[in-house]
Structure 1
Amino acid sequence: MEQPGFTASLVIACLIRVPSEVVKQRAQVSASSRTFQIFSDILYEEGIQGLYRGYKSTVLREIPFSLVQFPLWEFLKALWSWRQEHGVDSWQSAVCGAFAGGFAAAVTTPLDVAKTRIMLAKAGSSVAGGNVLSALRGVWRSQGLAGLFAGVFPRMASISLGGFIFLGAYDQTRCLLSQVGREGS
């Protein structure tokens, strides 16, 4: 995995992901508003930068998450392959992906908590400024370790399921394409 290109793709993906994440986060805490209304309110009250609140904190969460998930996924596949003395099947790759995703989710949950606090902060507040360390300190002071890991189990479950589906499908597709390539040669 080429790091500079990989990191650049994460940064670019966040350009698309962050506005939808901001709207989703705000919809979750104000169930009475409709999604389009929340989107419109953000644009009216904060401008386009309101849709990108938490962009830096999202990038700062995604990079370590990926640096944990993907190498761990590859390590687990290699270990499983070594133990059974042949390559892993797609379902085994999916299981490794689920474990790797869940573990990466657990260890990066404090960064996710900071990102969420920044996205949901009142416009103009110090937290809305986007300083991740400041947001983490605030959570630590008010809620301690439990606050830094708030939502860890639902996050692990969700990302484990996503890792199972995505990485399993990725490996299955990669295998199919390599078979097609060998047959075409």
Structure 2
Amino acid sequence: MKHLVAGGLAGGVSRTVVSPMERMKILFQIQGPEPAAYQGIVPTLTKMWREEGFMGFMRGNGTNVVRIVPYSASQFAAYEYFKALLMEPGKTELDTTRRLTAGAGAGVVSVASTYPLDITRTRLSVQSARIGSSMRDGGGAAGSKKLPGIIPTMVSIYKNEGGIRGLYRGLWPTTLGVAPYVALNFQCYEVLKIYLIPPEVDQSSVSRKLLCGALAGSIAQTITYPLDVLRRRMQVTGMASIEYKYTGTWDAIKTMVQKEGILSLYKGNMANYLKVAPAIGVSFVTYEWCKDAMTYNR
């Protein structure tokens, strides 16, 4: 139970801290071959503020927190479960293969548990932005009818985009990306702790744990980032304001590379670094602090 609670709190705190960067990354990722409405980190943040105010920075964050609490809780709890399951008798730490396996399993569990909320969060992040046809039609922040919230958005996807299948559009590339990402995240964090927080150093050092988490998240995201772009593209492909349509994961890869070039698989990567480093750092620190606090108070 403590892993569920600590993981949930860690997820909620970390994602709220980096909400503007998270939304900006998504906007970069889902822009197709048409002239980009959002270019550059500072101009995009300025545009979001000018057109939508403070809420432009937080658009979709409520849904993201609703999603990330069970997502993060299930991920940390599943990791601890698989870690205990795979631990060899007489040992206190997993070897690299077992740790990667535990992390990958945790990634699959967390995605499968919360995916409809993930696609809903993406839609709410995008639906008020002026992208593609919404720019020409006068839509976007000022002109389009906004989806009112989490439940109505999920109902709309269910009714208009194929029922349950619509709510799970993009699940394959998401799982394909999240499983190795989470595996690398935990592996890198545990290894970095050995070198950056050795026994002779204060084990409660927040700054060192933040650094370990930030580096771990950055390394893992660099390797798996193209799959995150595919995930977002597949999640918004049913929206009226989005001009591109894909029949599946491989069709999306082929179409993106042909029409937008190989770098399209890395759209929003710089904004993502600004998001993922503090988010993962805060997430690991919050998780360990909550877990230690609950253990101490038992």
What is the TM-score with the length of structure 1 in the denominator? Answer: 0.82
Query: Are the equivalent residues in 2 in contact too, given 1:90–1:171 (CA < 8 A)?
Result: no
Query: Are the equivalent residues in 1 in contact too, given 2:49–2:57 (CA < 8 A)?
Result: yes
More helix by share: 1
Considering only aligned residues, what root-mean-square deviation do their CA atoms show, in Å? 2.6
1:89 and 2:90 correspond: no
Q: CA 1:116–1:107 in structure 2 vs 1: closer, same or farther (change >3 Å)?
A: same
SS of 2:199's equivalent in the other structure is helix
Q: CA 1:90–1:7 in structure 2 vs 1: closer, same or farther (change >3 Å)?
A: same
1:134 and 2:134 correspond: no
Matches within 5 A, 1:1-185: 1=2, 7-31=8-32, 32-33=35-36, 34-36=39-41, 37-81=43-87, 84-87=88-91, 88-122=94-128, 123=141, 125-127=145-147, 129=148, 131-143=149-161, 144-174=163-193, 180-181=199-200
Which segment is superposed worse, 29-38 or 146-155?
29-38
Q: CA 1:5–1:71 in structure 2 vs 1: closer, same or farther (change >3 Å)?
A: closer
Q: CA 1:91–1:180 in structure 2 vs 1: closer, same or farther (change >3 Å)?
A: farther
Distance 1:95 1:156 in 2: 14
Distance 1:98 1:145 in 2: 25
Percentage identity across paired residues of the two chains = 22
May I ask how many residue pairs the two structures share in their alignment?
A: 178
CA drift at 1:60: 0.8
Distance 1:8 1:79 in 2: 24
Query: Are the equivalent residues in 1 in contact too, given 2:108–2:179 (CA < 8 A)?
Result: yes
What is the TM-score with the length of structure 2 in the denominator? Answer: 0.53
Distance 1:4 1:107 in 2: 16
CA drift at 1:17: 2.6
Distance 1:148 1:29 in 2: 18
CA drift at 1:98: 1.3
CA drift at 1:115: 0.2
Larger RCO, structure (CA 8 Å, separation 6 or more)? 2
CA drift at 1:175: 5.4
CA drift at 1:3: 6.3
Gaps of 5+ in 2: 129-140, 202-298
Query: Are the equivalent residues in 2 in contact too, given 1:69–1:103 (CA < 8 A)?
Result: yes
CA drift at 1:180: 2.5
Gaps of 5+ in 1: none
